[in-house]
Structure 1
Amino acid sequence: MDQEVREENERKKEYLKSYQKAVRREERILQEIQRLRLDRIFPEVINDGMPHGSSQTDLSDYIILVDEQIDLLKQERLEKAKLRSDIEGRIRELKNDDEQDVLKIRYIKCVNKWEDVAKEMNYSLRKTHKLHSSALIHLKI
Structure 2
Amino acid sequence: MNEENEKKKEFLKSYQKAKRDVARLERQLEELRLNKISPSVINDGMPHRTDIGDLSNYAAQVDKIEREIIAARYERISTYQRVQRCIEAVEDEREKDLLTHRYLKGENWERVAVSLGYSWKQTHRIHSRALENLKMT
TM over 0.5: yes
Q: Distance in 2 between matches of 1:32 and 1:66?
A: 10
How far did residue 52 of structure 1 move? Answer: 2.3
Identity among equivalent pairs (%) = 43
Partner residue, 2:47: 51
Please name the residue that 1:89 is paired with. Answer: 85
2:134 counterpart (129, 136, 139): 139
Q: How many residues align?
A: 136
Q: CA deviation at 1:122?
A: 1.1
Aligned pair 1:129/2:124, yes or no? yes
Instruction: Name the counterpart of 1:41.
Output: 37
* Partner amino acid, structure 1, of 2:28: E
> Deviation at 1:132?
0.5
Tell me what 1:75 maps to: 71
Equivalence for 1:31: 27
Equivalent residue number for residue 115 of structure 1: 110
Q: Confirm or deny that 1:19 pairs with 2:21.
A: no
TM-superposed CA distance for 1:135, in Å, is: 0.3
Structure 1 residue 58: Cα displacement? 2.1
Structure 1, unaligned stretches of length 5 or more? none
CA distance in 2, matches of 1:44, 1:95: 56
Structure-1 separation of matches of 2:29 and 2:35: 10
Residue 85 of structure 2 aligns to a residue whose secondary structure is helix
